[in-house]
Amino acid sequence: MAYDQEKKITQYKAFGDMAKDLVYLVTGGCGYIGEHIVRLLVAEDYVKEVRVFDIREVDHIKNLSTASTTVTLVKGDITDYNHVLKATAGVDVVIHTAALVDFLNTSPYHKMEAINVGGTENIIKACLALDVTYLVYTSSITSVGPNTRNEPMLRGTEETVYSGKLGLLYGKSKASAEKSVRQANDRSTSHGKKLFTCVIRPSNIYGEKTQNLLESYIAAKSKNGRINYLEPENVDQCYIYVGNVAWMHVLAARQLQMKPELLGGQVYYSYDDTPVRQRYKLLYELYTDIDPRIQLGSHIPYWKMWLIISVFNLIAFLVSPFWTLKPFMNLGILNYMVTTFSYQTDKAFRHFGYQPKYSWEEAKIRTCKWLKEVI
């Protein structure tokens, strides 16, 4: 362990000697993962500016500037190439997190495709036009599966072959964007340089500002402190703290500059030491730290939730000429929740020395602190 730590310090010093005063662009930097990445980047002494490109402005992001690192907000639309081109000018590294995250299909697919796929193609095009040579892309496990047949994947790796039509439209859009990013690796820029890209593929994320964590807590409290759940007890999925997802992006972006031939074109699953493999057990671990009276409730059978969703869809269709009902769940999400889909890998450690920045205990403390503040 001491050797590993010494090796990491040596690599960090080597990178510091090689690269200074870098300008990073974080697309979607006012969003969930993006903000956590920005917070980590401003602490890195080789970063001169973190440029945040987002369709909305969040004032507190500007306050993240430090004595040595400036945070600059650039408001713009990822689907407008001129906006993207302006934001990318003078940038050394792009971390592209901007996306329309819509698991419930409340937006038409063409809109999701325009943002998630078209926006990514705009980023690639701008990098090539402006000689930006490093691009890290935030993908999703839903870009792999589960498929519409709900076939499981148990503790797979980045090399595991899994096929079939994707069950979520969001996953379909992320798969298309991921493919574009990987194909862009090693392409020549307008002045003969090379663009190097890699992909970070998170799974189920928890932590500060995770909206569904807050919603589930409120729901549990409304049911006399009971966490009712859909997942079978034997379902196996991966959960990772948002701070570690962000840290993996920061490390990948750094090492992509040092070892472009190794990281270029690669995809990496996000992971840490979060021990739970079922969502309801994660909720129980977190919520009992806030309120020890919280208990596990009843398992909701698949058929019952399927019937509720089907009845809701029928009612929504009947009233659609008059108003739009917002779905609480759909069959795609239901099938995702009850399907084993997990991975087990150390590829990020082997390729760029990734180790979680936050332990499970620290992740739990930080998440619960945020929940207490917003409840």
Active site residues: 170
**CA dist 268 to 5, 129, 152, Å?**
22, 27, 20
CB 157 within 8 A of CB 219: no
Amino acid occupying residue 11: Q
> H or E segment at 197?
strand 194-201
Cα separation, 43 vs 357, in Å, equals: 13
Three-state SS at 122: helix
CB 209 within 8 A of CB 278: no
CB 319 within 8 A of CB 313: no
Bridge-partner residues for 135, per DSSP?
94, 197
> What tokens were used for 172?
């379909």
Cα separation, 368 vs 286, in Å, equals: 6
Proportion of the chain in helix, strand, coil states, percent, rounded to 5: 45, 20, 35
